[in-house]
Amino acid sequence: MSVAGFNSKIDYQFIDYALLDQAVTHRSVSRTINNERLEFLGDSVLSLVISEYLYKYFPDIDEGKLSRLRASLVNQQSLAMIARGISLGECIKLGGGELKSGGFRRDSILSDTLEAIIGAIYLDGGFQQACKSVRYLYRNMLTEITDKIDQSLKDPKTQLQEILQSRQIQLPEYQVIQTVGKDHDQVFTVSCKIHVLEIEATGKGSSRKKAEQEAAGQVLKRLN
């Protein structure tokens, strides 16, 4: 792959091509000039960029889930997948042994090289450019994970309604089938029916709304 072709893959034009050359040079080629230090730097830059994105776009998610989301995005498998998507293996400089053993296809080498490139972009263009490049490289993964989280944050009734509308199925019918307890301490039992699918579930809650949400959640489990 040409340098120009590679630049288009990462959406960045290097100023200092020596940095790019070092970023794609595996230690099997040279023990003194290779991408290991750039990989160390790129790992930190990547983690910060992804952390900032998750923190900013998902204000309702706690620290534990944010950490798990970040780990799923910056792990070796995800990095290697992105590397393959930009045909990075064609650009990696490997020693004879690694070349013969197919090192350009190995997840570890692909992921380390991509992190090195991120480190090189940071040194060449600064942090804002590194942010831009990481988001470009991760654009499909970030869109996918954002859509999934946005959907999971919706309440069960909304999720059920959207699924049924997308399938052009009549919306469910909710009905209170039992109310027990005193006025200040009532428990509602509500049914949720989808007649055309012959699905019915019930839910309980301290209010009609909560009971409807519980019933809708039970129907969602059956649909899934």
What are the domain boundaries of the chain?
3-152, 155-223
Alpha-carbon gap, residue 131 to 115, rounded angstroms = 13
Instruction: Give the model's pLDDT for residue 1.
Output: 61
Q: Please indicate whether residue 16 is annotated as part of the active site.
A: no
User: Which pLDDT score, from 0 to 100, does residue 7 have?
Assistant: 83
Please report the pLDDT score of residue 32 as a whole number: 92
Topology of domain 155-223 in CATH is Double Stranded RNA Binding Domain (3.30.160)
Write down the catalytic residue from 43, 112, 212, 214: 43
Highest mean pLDDT among 41-45, 140-144, 153-157: 41-45
Determine phi and psi for 15, rounding to 5 degrees: -85, -45
Instruction: Give residue 112's pLDDT band: very low, low, confident or very high (50, 70, 90).
Output: very high
Please confirm, yes or no, whether 198 is among the known catalytic residues: no
pLDDT band at 76 (very low <50, low <70, confident <90, very high): very high
Predicted confidence at residue 122, as pLDDT, reads 98
Rounded to the nearest 10 degrees, the angle between the axes of helix 63-74 and helix 76-85 is 50
DSSP 25: B
Residues 6+ apart with CB under 8 A from 4: none
Pick 3-152's CATH classification: 3.30.1330.60, 3.30.505.50, 3.40.50.300, 1.10.1520.10.
1.10.1520.10
- Active-site annotation holder among 115, 124, 212, 214: 115
Q: What is the pLDDT of residue 25?
A: 96
What is the pLDDT, as a whole number, of residue 184? 80
Please report the pLDDT score of residue 95 as a whole number.
Answer: 93
Chain Cα centroid distance, residue 49: 13
